[in-house]
Amino acid sequence: MYTELLTSLTPEQASIRDTMHSFAREVLRPAAKKLDHLPAEEVPRSPLYRETMKKGYELGIHTILLPEAVGGMGLDPVSIHIVLEELGWGSSSFAISLVASSFPALACLSFAPESMSLIERFVLPFCRDKEGKVIGCWALTEPDHGSDWIIGHADETPDPRMAGGLTARKDGQGWVLNGQKSAWVSNGPVATQAVLFVSLDRSQGMRGSGIALVDLDRPGISRGKPWDKIGQRALPQGEIYFDDVRIPAEQMLVSTPDFYAAAIDASLALANSAMGAVFTGVARAAFEEAVRYTGERVQGGVPIHRHQAVQVKLFQLFQRTEVARAISRRVMTYNYSTRPPILKYAVASKVSCTEAAFSNAHDAVNLFGGMGLSRESDIEMIFRDARASMIEDGINETLGLGVGKEIAKSWVEHLS
C-alpha cells in the first residue's frame, strides 16, 4: 500500500481505499488472471466474469460517478480517484468495464436531466441493479473513425468525409439508426444499453453528429464476436450493428452542432480523467510487483534489489507512479467538480498515466527477466494490459496533437 500524501484524507476515504484494495486483491486480480487465458468469445459467457461483475455491482462500484439522488454512491472526486486507482491496481479490464457501464446513465443525467421518463428507464434501474444485469457502454469508435473524433468535431471547415458512419434519420416521432460501431466498444458484447454517437447531417462532417440513448434489445440490433486482443482480455469488446433500428425522439439527447461540440468535449474529458486514475493503479501494480520480485530473486549471491542498477530502476518506477497519482488526482478533482471540465488537462493526465503504466510494466518485465515473459506471472498480464491503454480512449499521439493544436491557437489569439 502506498503512502498517502493527502493529509486531509478523511476516515471515510481511507475506509473506501482499504475496501477497494481488498476487493481488487482478492477478487479482481485473480479473476482477470483466469479470464486472461480463455478464448475471447468465452469471456462474456464465463460464470467467473458474470460473478465478478456482480460482486462489483453489489459494492455499488458501477454507480461511483452518479449522485445519491438517483441511487448512486455520490462520491467526491478524491474518493472516485481512490476507487479507480485501486480497481486499476487489481485489473484495468474490470475497472474499465465497471466504469464504462455507467456512461449511458451519466449521459442521461448530463444531457437530459429534466426527463423523468428517461431517468426512470435508463438511470434508476441501473443504480438499483445489484446483480450486473444492466450494463452500459459508450459506443463511439467506428471502422473508419477512432482517435480522429478527438479533433474532427472541432474543425472550423466541415468535411463530409469526416462524418460518422452510423447515421440517424428523423422519421415521424422518432429516429432510425443504420450503421455500426467497431470492435473497440468496451462492454459491447454484454451491454444492455448504450450512449451512442451518430451522424445527423453528413454534410457537416463530425460537427453534424448527435448523441442518443439506446436500449440494445431493440429489433435490428446485432453484435459481432468479442474482439481477440493481446491485453485487457477480461474486458469484452466488440462490434454492434444497427439495421433500421427505431428509437423515440426523446432518446436523441443531443441533436444540435453547438451542443454536440460541448457534449463530446465533456464526455472525452471525463473519460480521459478516469483513464488517468485507472492507469495510475496499473503503474503502481507494476512497481509493487517489481519491488516484491527483486526482494525474492537472488543473483550474485544476494537479492537483486541489493544491486545498485536495480535500485535506480526501482526509484524510476516509484517516481513515475507518484507523478501519475499527482496529476491524475489533481485533474480529476477539477474536472469532476467543475462544469464544463477542461479536456486538455484530462488528456495530459491520460497520456502521462498510461505512459507511466506501460513504462513501469516494461521495466518490471526486465527486472523479472525470463519470469517476466511467463504467462504464469502477473507482470506479464499487466504489461499487455498497459500497452492497450495508449490506444484506447484516443491514441496518445492523436490526443496530444489535438491539445497541441488548441494550445497553438490560443497562443496566437493571445498574442493578437
Provide the 10 A C-beta neighbour count for residue 386.
Answer: 29
% pLDDT > 70, the chain: 96
**Domain annotation covers residue 267:** yes
CATH number where 42 lies: 1.10.540.10
For residues 88 and 174, membership in a common domain is answered with no
Q: What does the pLDDT read at residue 146?
A: 75
For residues 250 and 279, membership in a common domain is answered with no
For residues 331 and 189, membership in a common domain is answered with no
d(CA 4, CA 25): 19
Amino acid (one-letter) located at 158: P
Q: What does the pLDDT read at residue 239?
A: 96
In sequence order, the 6+-apart residues with CB closer than 8 A to the CB of 71 are 63, 124, 127, 128
For residues 254 and 338, membership in a common domain is answered with no
For residues 197 and 311, membership in a common domain is answered with no
d(CA 349, CA 326): 9
Domain end among 97, 128, 159? 128
For residues 268 and 160, membership in a common domain is answered with no
DSSP for 61-93 reads: GGGTTS-GGGTS----HHHHHHHHHHHHHH-HH
Domain end among 258, 290, 310? 258
**Domain annotation covers residue 1:** no
CATH number where 264 lies: 1.20.140.10
**Domain annotation covers residue 4:** no
Q: Is residue 115 helix, strand or coil?
A: coil
For 164-222, write each residue's pLDDT tens digit: 899 999 999 899 999 999 989 999 999 999 999 999 999 888 888 999 999 999 999 99
Task: End-to-end CA distance of the chain: give it in Å, rounded.
Answer: 50
For residues 271 and 402, membership in a common domain is answered with yes
**Domain annotation covers residue 3:** no
In total, how many domains does the chain have? 3
For residues 317 and 207, membership in a common domain is answered with no
d(CA 31, CA 323): 29
Grid cell 447531417 is found at: 201
Domain end among 200, 227, 258? 258
Measure the CA dihedral 20/23/28/34, to 10°.
Answer: 160
54 pLDDT more than 70: yes
DSSP for 173-213 reads: TEEEEEEEE-TT-BTTTT-SEEEEEEES-GGGGGGGEEEEE
d(CA 197, CA 208): 11
288 pLDDT more than 70: yes
Q: Which residues lie across from 240 on neighbouring strands?
A: 181, 223
Q: How confident is the model at residue 153 (pLDDT cuts 50, 70, 90)?
A: low
| pTM recorded for the entire structure | 0.95
Q: How confident is the model at residue 1 (pLDDT cuts 50, 70, 90)?
A: low
In sequence order, the 6+-apart residues with CB closer than 8 A to the CB of 159 are 152, 205
For residues 203 and 336, membership in a common domain is answered with no
Closest CA to 276 of 342, 327, 328: 328
156 pLDDT more than 70: no
- The parent domain of residue 104 ranges over 11-128
- Of 82-91, 142-151, 173-182, the range with the lowest mean pLDDT is 142-151
402 pLDDT more than 90: no
Amino acid (one-letter) located at 71: G
Positive/negative CA dihedral, 199, 201, 203, 209 = negative
387 pLDDT more than 80: yes
**Domain annotation covers residue 236:** yes
411 pLDDT more than 80: no
Mean pLDDT computed over every residue of the chain:
94
For residues 206 and 345, membership in a common domain is answered with no
Closest CA to 87 of 228, 227, 235, 193: 235
In sequence order, the 6+-apart residues with CB closer than 8 A to the CB of 86 are 17, 20, 21, 23, 24, 281
Q: How confident is the model at residue 161 (pLDDT cuts 50, 70, 90)?
A: confident
CATH number where 253 lies: 2.40.110.10
For residues 272 and 395, membership in a common domain is answered with yes
Q: What does the pLDDT read at residue 299?
A: 95
**Domain annotation covers residue 6:** no
> Angle between the 257-296 and 92-100 helix axes, to the nearest 10 degrees?
160
For residues 272 and 401, membership in a common domain is answered with yes
In sequence order, the 6+-apart residues with CB closer than 8 A to the CB of 337 are 76, 77
**Domain annotation covers residue 63:** yes
**Domain annotation covers residue 180:** yes
